Chains A and B, each alone.
Chain A
Amino acid sequence: MKGLILVGGYGTRLRPLTLSLPKPLVEFGNRPMILHQIEALANAGCTDIVLAVNYKPEVMVGALKQYEKEYGVSITFSVEEEPLGTAGPLKLAEKILKKDNTPIFVLNSDVICEYPLRDLLEFHTAHGGEATIVATKVDEPSKYGVIVHDRDVPNLIERFVEKPVEFVGNRINAGIYVLNPSVIDLIEMRPTSIEHETFPILVEQKKLYSFDLPGYWMDVGQPKDFLSGMCLYLSALTKKNSKLLTSTSEEYVNGGNVLIDPSAKIGKGCKIGPNVVIGPNCIIGDGVRIQRSTILKNSQIKDHAWVKSTIVGWNSTVGKWARLEGVTVLGEDVTVKDEVYVNGGKVLPHKSIKDNVETPQIIM
């Protein structure tokens, strides 16, 4: 089994975090984002994983070497000279992906879900088509490309409707696919889109099926969605009674869905949660209130601070009685001085904030 992860570019949508670290290495739920996908692929029996990237930062090469060992997989970078779209990378990595006859998983690196890849594979083998799209149900299908099924054959895709004005269904493409190696033959070596060019051919041939994704799904490519996705991820961990979560019997845990690295220190009289991730070596002072936020590793939240809907970047410091909210994102090594209020500030690395930021803005 083989997997391709579409990583793409610099992850500008997740700045200021991605100014310090490539997006796949930004921790989501205390683990690099890409690790959620690598683990899912390894668990589904993949031995070869290709990362489709526009650039290849050294820091990523090193990190992934470590994961190769950890998960017993071979990880290859497929570097595009020019952006090749969503289908081009498959062609580029043809050698590895077509080395045997087993199906290929294709994952989007921005997507967070439960990755039921074994069930997906079983489904794919059973229907006998060439490819399977994972579909997720959304409330407002009018913003997406919607999948319309064949009237007679269950799960067979009849057509796609881009941004439908009338309700034709609420299943959308979740950015996760299983393809037979033969699908690669349909792709030309140029920038192409798998959604708009390859899949329509398979629809014609009546060989494209869809698989309903159980549980949550979120594109976490930007800060607002990163936090929403974090809530979904933590809720799923709670549902599974995951041992990763901090026990709700801890005095400071409020409302559950709290994931705190064991190396983090929590002060007296804190109220943390719901929906909080605190990374390794973080120091949380006394009387701190945190909700719906991610605190990345080595950061310090001082006494009596109040943090909500915020991502605190690595090695940052939040002062006493400071108040952060409104999808504030602190880049790496940011200092928010005592008593300062920040609402929706996107703060670039190594900055110090001394005055209130009342309205959402970028702090250069």
Chain B
Amino acid sequence: MISKAVIMVGGGSRGTRFRPLALDQAKIMFPIAGKPLLAHTIDAILTIPTIKEIILIGFYDPAVFTEFILDFNTKMKYQNRDCYLKYLKEFKALGTAGGLYHFREEILRGNPDGFLVVHGDIICSFPFVEMIEFYKKKAAEKGGIEAMLFGVKLTNYDLFMALSGSEQSSFGTIVSEDNGKVIHYVEKPESKISDIINGGIYIFNESLFRRLSNAKISKITIANDNTTFETVDEDVISMEKDVLHFLPDSGKTFVYEYKGFWRAIKTPSDALWANELYLDKVFQTKTGHGRSVIHRASVNIEPPVYIHPSATIHFENGTKIGPYVSIGANVTIGAGTRIYNSIILENCEIGQNSFVRNSILSLDCKIGNWARVEGTGVNLISINEIVKKNGPTKIKKVLDAESSRVIGIKDSGNICILGSGTHIGDDLYVLNSFILPSKSIKDDVKYEIIM
């Protein structure tokens, strides 16, 4: 019975690629389609009926999660569900698996048959129930297995890699037999070895800690070895290099193949992808989650759109919102304004006849009348058009050319990000720029980072 799930949430000193949004709030708490990134993962974990405990491991200040955890545990009590959420803070950044080792006693308390490990910055449709069924089936077949990996089978490898930025090889690659047995694992390969990549979700059992302990011992040995100049931090353990790399040797690790949408949220434009994918998911399945409101199509709304109930939208004069817009609490939007493919966080004010696209507005931004805040290239639709036009083999080249002017990050397209408290005056144009928090913008800004 899988009764525990561990979410690796990372920490504040990491996630610099998520700037400038990371300057305002923890990446894991960034709201997408009406709730924090973390809540999407947790809500998916709750679809597992046997789950009793969810453990967050990371190195954020505990205050980041205090309110969220309290709300969650209260909600569970109210729903009479026996599930408890807690946060365990690493004493320093311990790598992708060091935290699991450090808190092994917490994880193993109650002797769970197995436990789920999920990276907090992953978005996908989280088919946990199916994955657990597959784990049980394989375990029964083989008389116990060591681990199950979540493999994302890429339908278009070239496109996926092209869209994932300049590094071809920022993913782990899994090679498996037809029956699902993992026979090879390579972290960040330079060439294409397989079209199944590591999706950052695992089912482990007790045996994981033997491997972690071995990794720990070998690190201490290296660290204490005076004959080598190699410096090793014995506390840091890598899931990918220290565990996954060795798993195939025992022949008792299997992969659950997944073919749906999947993405790791690293940069702000990934947040726009997540927004698009989650809004689509909710809209298509018609299963509203929590407080989310997905408005029906109308003259003013092109779904999917999430609008917080406390937001004030002036719908007169041809205001048009959507598709793919998330609007947070207490936001005000003036008449005649057009917004699409954007995330507008709490307390933002947007004037009349303005235009916002492919942009993220952090908390408390203020935009005047007839202003235009525009990113030009993260939209899936436009990327799909490029793919159709150029074919998958040329896509990388095309996107590289397209992104040669991208600000700050190498990415799949241009977006605009306004840090919290940004003020944009009437009539101004902000194009493909990042604005750090608390700036007042009085002139047009194009392809710039404003400190």
Which A residues form the contact surface with B (CB < 8 A)? 268-269, 271, 286-289, 303-304, 306, 308, 320-321, 323, 325, 339, 341, 356, 358
Give every chain B residue within 8 A of A358 (Cβ-Cβ): 376, 431, 446
Inter-subunit contact A269/B336 (CB<8 Å) = yes
User: Can you list 7 contacts pairing A with B, beta carbon distance less than 8 Å?
Assistant: A269-B317, A269-B353, A271-B370, A286-B317, A289-B353, A320-B318, A321-B338
Q: Nearest CB to that of B382 among chain A residues?
A: A355
Give every chain B residue within 8 A of A323 (Cβ-Cβ): 355, 372, 429
**Contact pick for B353, options A287, A308, A325, A356, CB 8 Å:** A287
Contact B429 A303 (CB under 8 A): no
Residues 276-330 of B at the A interface (beta carbon under 8 Å) = 317-318
Query: Cβ of A289 and Cβ of B317 under 8 Å apart?
Result: no
Q: How far is the CB of A59 from chain B (nearest CB, A)?
A: 38
How far is it, in angstroms, between the C-alpha of A268 and the C-alpha of B446 when the chains are bound? 31
Answer yes or no: B97 CB below 8 A from chain A CBs.
no
Instruction: Contact check, B355 vs A339: say whether CB atoms are below 8 A apart.
Output: yes
CB-based contact B372/A306 at 8 Å: yes
Closest to B357 in A: A339
Interface pair A306/B370, CB less than 8 Å apart = yes
A286, B427: Cβ atoms under 8 Å?
no
| List of A residues within 8 angstroms of B318 by Cβ | 286-287, 303-304, 320
Task: Kindly state whether residue B346 has any CB partner on chain A within 8 Å.
Answer: no
A353 to chain B, nearest CB (A): 15
Q: Contact between A289 and B370 (Cβ–Cβ < 8 Å)?
A: yes
0 or 1 for each of B408-432: is its CB under 8 Å from A? (1 = yes)? 0000000000000000000101010
Using a CB–CB distance below 8 Å, which chain B residues touch chain A?
317-318, 335-338, 352-353, 355, 357, 369-370, 372, 374, 376, 427, 429, 431, 446
Residues of B within 8 A of A321 (CB): 338, 353, 355
CA–CA, A323 and B428, complex, Å: 11
Q: Which residues of A contact B353 (CB under 8 A)?
A: 269, 287-289, 304, 306, 321
User: How far apart are A344's CB and chain B's nearest CB, in angstroms?
Assistant: 13
Given that A269-B352, A286-B318, A287-B318 are known contacts, is A341 also in contact with B338, CB under 8 Å in the complex?
Answer: no
CA distance in complex: A303, B318 (Å):
8
Are B352 and A287 closer than 8 Å at their CB atoms? yes
The docked-state distance in angstroms from the alpha carbon of A325 to that of B318 is 23
Among residues of B, the one whose C-beta sits closest to the C-beta of A323 is B372
- What's the least CB distance linking A269 to chain B, in Å? 6
B370's nearest neighbour on chain A, judged by CB, is A289
The smallest beta-carbon distance between A308 and chain B, in angstroms, is 8
Q: How far is the CB of B321 from chain A (nearest CB, A)?
A: 12
Given contacts A286-B336, A287-B352, A323-B372, list 17 more A-B pairs with CB under 8 A: A268-B317, A269-B336, A271-B370, A286-B317, A287-B317, A303-B317, A303-B336, A304-B337, A304-B370, A306-B353, A323-B355, A339-B355, A339-B357, A341-B372, A358-B376, A358-B431, A358-B446
| A48 and B429 alpha carbons, distance in the complex (Å) | 52
Shortest CB-to-CB span from A189 to chain B, Å, is: 55
For residue B372, which residues in chain A have a CB less than 8 angstroms away from its CB? 306, 323, 341
Contact B374–A304 (Cβ < 8 Å): no
B351 to chain A, nearest CB (A): 11
Complex CA–CA separation, A269 to B370 (angstroms):
12
How far, in Å, is B24 (CB) from chain A's closest CB? 28
Cα of A288 to Cα of B353 in the assembled complex, Å:
8
Q: Are A304 and B429 in contact (CB under 8 A)?
A: no
**How far is A356 from B414 in the complex, measured between Cα atoms in Å?**
13
**A residues near B374, Cβ cutoff 8 Å:** 341
Please, which residues of chain A bring their CB within 8 A of the CB of B376? 356, 358
Q: How far is the CA of A308 from the CA of B426 in the complex (A)?
A: 13
Are the CB atoms of B336 and A287 closer together than 8 Å? yes
Q: Look across to chain A and name the residue whose beta carbon is closest to the beta carbon of B334.
A: A287
Enumerate chain A residues within 8 angstroms of B357, measured Cβ to Cβ: 339
- What residues of chain B lie closer than 8 Å to A288, measured between beta carbons? 353
Q: How far is the CB of B299 from chain A (nearest CB, A)?
A: 12
Top 10 A-B pairs, shortest CB-CB distance: A287-B336, A287-B353, A289-B370, A304-B353, A321-B338, A321-B355, A304-B336, A306-B370, A303-B318, A323-B372
In whole Å, how far is B428's beta carbon from the nearest beta carbon of chain A? 10
Determine how close the nearest CB of chain A comes to the CB of B280; give it in whole angstroms. Answer: 21
B240 to chain A, nearest CB (A): 41
Q: Specify which of A268, A304, A325 is in contact with B338 (CB 8 Å cutoff).
A: A304
- Cα A320 to Cα B337 with chains together (Å): 10
A320 and B318 alpha carbons, distance in the complex (Å): 10
Residues in A neighbouring B427, C-beta threshold 8 A: 289, 306, 308
Shortest beta-carbon distance from B315 to chain A in Å:
13
Residues of B within 8 A of A269 (CB): 317, 335-336, 352-353
Q: How far is the CA of A269 from the CA of B352 in the complex (A)?
A: 9
CB distance from A270 to the nearest CB of B (A): 9
CB distance from A10 to the nearest CB of B (A): 35
Could you tell me if A287 and B338 are in contact, using CB atoms closer than 8 angstroms? no
* Nearest-CB residue, chain A, relative to B355: A321
Residue in chain B with minimal CB distance to A359: B446
Distance in angstroms between the alpha carbons of A268 and B376 in the assembled complex: 30
Shortest Cβ distance from residue A29 to the other chain B in the assembled complex, whole angstroms:
24
Chain B positions within 8 Å of A325 at CB level: 429
Q: Find chain A residues with CB under 8 A from B336 CB.
A: 269, 286-287, 303-304
- Closest approach, in angstroms, between the C-beta of B125 and any C-beta of chain A? 31
How far, in angstroms, from A356 to B379 measured CA to CA in the complex? 15
CB neighbours (8 Å) of A289 from chain B are 353, 369-370, 427
Cα distance A306–B426 when bound, in Å?
Answer: 11
User: Smallest Cβ distance from A290 to chain B, in angstroms?
Assistant: 10
CA gap between A164 and B414 in the complex, in Å: 49
Residues of A contacting B335 with CB < 8 Å? 269, 287
Q: Which chain B residues border A268 with CB–CB below 8 Å? A: 317
Name the CB-closest residue of B to A267: B317
Select from chain B the residue with minimum beta-carbon distance to A338. B338
A304 touches B355 (CB 8 A): yes
B151 smallest CB distance to A (angstroms): 38
Complex Cα–Cα for A200 and B357 (A): 62
Determine the chain A residues whose CB is within 8 A of the CB of B431 once the complex forms: 341, 358
What residue of chain A has the Cβ atom nearest to residue B340's Cβ? A339
Report how far A269 CA is from B369 CA in the complex, Å.
11
CA distance A192 to B376 in the complex (A): 54
* Residue picked from A288, A325, A356, A358, most chain B C-beta under 10 Å: A358
Shortest Cβ distance from A286 into B: residue? B317
A323 to B352, CA, bound (A): 15
Task: Return chain A residues, CB-CB under 8 Å to B429.
Answer: 323, 325, 341
* Distance of A341 Cα from B355 Cα, bound (Å): 11
Measured between beta carbons, the chain B residues less than 8 angstroms from A341 are 372, 374, 429, 431
Q: A287-B352, A356-B376 are in contact. Are A339 and B317 (CB under 8 A)?
A: no
CB < 8 Å neighbour of A339 from B338, B352, B369, B370: B338
- Smallest Cβ distance from A222 to chain B, in angstroms? 24
Q: How far is the CB of B360 from chain A (nearest CB, A)?
A: 19
B376 nearest CB neighbor, chain A only:
A356
CB proximity of A135 to chain B, nearest CB, Å? 38
The closest CB in chain A to the CB of B371 belongs to A306
Bound-state CA distance A303–B336 (Å) is 8
A304 to B352, CA, bound (A): 9
Nearest CB on B from A129, distance (A): 52
A14 CA / B429 CA spacing, docked (Å): 28
Question: Who on chain B is nearest to A303 by CB?
Answer: B318
